[in-house]
């Protein structure tokens, strides 16, 4: 197996074509992009195709990355009718994937969630080895179901491996090149004891209504910090105008965006991040070493974001707030005890960095090299 960080490989061990199955959210998709980027660095000319749903966030993330996107017509399996439509569309989607895989493919990667199912089914039918990427401390339903039927599962923590079957490797969560580059820039960042502190609010690739509402309710009572804090707020499109108006009326210095493709840079240039606790978000925060206030999404049945958050909180790199607790009093306490305490910020930064796995994409690629099959000499994905 090639060691982590390898940039060149012998011709007989190179990866030439990889298929990625799944999407729907940035949390599922960006680890796949991280692996595809790093694989292309190590194996120039590598082809990658992403089989995704038709959600707009997929185009936002993949646009300009140089990878192929094949959209599958899959209903969201929500409620009895949604599950029925999903089940009826599954065979058609799997046939669509198989038609592409037959042109030749070294390996596939399952990105998690319902959108990965047709690709994994198709790969199994075509004899293409598959590695599942699990991003969370509580494994997702699809990965739990299929872990014993694929070649291997890439896990972020040892506890995750214990909850799955088959071959499991603890690799960490892959992070994109832009995160690693931003981490290097952050190490050279200097901010003195004076001046404004920068707080970034981000709820994920599509924003978070709960975070937005809590901030709008809290800001009027935090006016004593108006000259001390500047905000970067990724709000999602639905709340962007209301969020901008709230900051404007309060006299705050703030930049509000519906979406940012340059989020790692904003994270790296922030003193504190207020965020959800998806596995991908935490992987990026720990590679960057940014102190965080984590507000787990409260409506998942398994509360996996709460379990994700506890990993970083227990290490000392973040504090945990329930969404119902996120308000003026809790933020005032966070600002006084953390944001304007340089020593506390330094300690939290080092604690976060202790969990970072910047080499995770290489570890996943090394796993693919172990399970890959020889690729047929033919036209490839792009034909």
pLDDT tens-digit readout, 168-222:
999 999 999 999 999 998 976 766 556 799 999 998 755 588 999 999 999 999 9
% of the chain with per-residue pLDDT over 90: 74
Could you check whether 11-174+358-371 and 178-353 share the same CATH topology?
A: yes
**pLDDT band of 1, cuts 50, 70, 90:** very low
148: burial class by Cβ within 10 Å (0-12, 13-18, 19+)? exposed
Over the Cα atoms of the chain, what is R_g?
Answer: 21
List the one residue out of 107, 150, 123, 49 whose CA is nearest residue 375: 107
Superfamily of domain 11-174+358-371 in CATH is Glycogen Phosphorylase B; (3.40.50.2000)
- Asked whether residue 2 carries a pLDDT value surpassing 50, the answer given is no
The Cα-based distances of 4 to 8, 122, 154, 252, 366 in angstroms read 11, 30, 15, 45, 7
Other C-beta atoms closer than 10 Å to the C-beta of 56 total 11
Q: Can you give the residue ranges of every domain in the chain?
A: 11-174+358-371, 178-353
Tell me the mean pLDDT in the region 111-118. 93
The CATH label, of 3.50.50.60, 3.40.50.300, 3.40.50.2000, 3.40.50.10680, for the domain at 178-353 is 3.40.50.2000
Model pTM score: 0.90
Q: Give 1 or 283, the one with higher predicted confidence.
A: 283
The helix-helix angle for 360-371 and 26-42 (nearest 10°) equals 70
The helix-helix angle for 240-250 and 209-218 (nearest 10°) equals 20
């Amino acid at each position: 197996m090639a060691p982590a960080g390898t940039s060149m490989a012998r011709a007989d061990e190179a990866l030439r074509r990889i298929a990625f199955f799944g999407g729907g959210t940035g949390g599922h998709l960006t680890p796949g992009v991280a692996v595809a980027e790093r694989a292309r660095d190590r194996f120039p000319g590598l082809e990658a195709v992403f089989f995704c749903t038709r959600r707009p966030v997929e185009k936002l993330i993949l646009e300009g990355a140089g990878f192929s996107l094949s959209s599958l017509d899959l209903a969201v399996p929500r409620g009895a009718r949604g599950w029925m439509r999903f089940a009826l569309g599954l065979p058609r989607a799997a046939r669509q994937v198989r038609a592409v895989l037959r042109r030749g493919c070294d390996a596939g990667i399952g990105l998690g969630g319902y959108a990965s199912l047709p690709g994994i089914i198709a790969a199994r039918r075509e004899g293409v080895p598959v590695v599942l990427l699990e991003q969370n401390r509580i494994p997702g339903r699809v990965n739990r179901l299929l872990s014993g039927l694929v070649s291997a599962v890439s896990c972020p923590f040892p506890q995750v491996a214990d909850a799955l079957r088959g071959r499991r490797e603890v690799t960490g969560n892959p992070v994109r090149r832009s995160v690693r580059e931003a981490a290097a820039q952050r190490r050279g960042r200097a901010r003195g004891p004076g001046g404004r502190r920068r707080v970034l609010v981000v709820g994920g690739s599509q924003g978070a209504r709960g975070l937005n509402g809590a901030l709008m309710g809290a800001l009027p009572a935090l006016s004593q910090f108006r000259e001390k804090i500047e905000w970067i707020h990724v709000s999602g499109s639905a709340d962007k105008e209301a969020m901008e108006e709230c900051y404007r009326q309060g006299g705050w210095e703030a930049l509000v965006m519906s979406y940012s493709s340059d989020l790692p840079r904003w994270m790296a240039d922030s003193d504190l991040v207020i965020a959800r606790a998806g596995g991908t978000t935490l992987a990026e925060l720990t590679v960057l070493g940014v102190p965080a206030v984590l507000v787990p999404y409260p409506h998942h049945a398994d509360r996996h974001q709460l379990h994700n958050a506890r990993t970083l909180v227990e290490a000392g790199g973040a504090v945990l707030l329930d969404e119902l607790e996120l308000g003026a009093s809790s933020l005032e306490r966070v600002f006084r005890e953390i944001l304007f305490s340089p020593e506390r910020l330094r300690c939290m930064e080092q604690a976060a960095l202790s969990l970072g796995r910047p080499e995770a994409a290489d570890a996943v690629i090394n796993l693919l090299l172990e399970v890959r099959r020889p690729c047929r000499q033919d036209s490839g994905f792009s034909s």
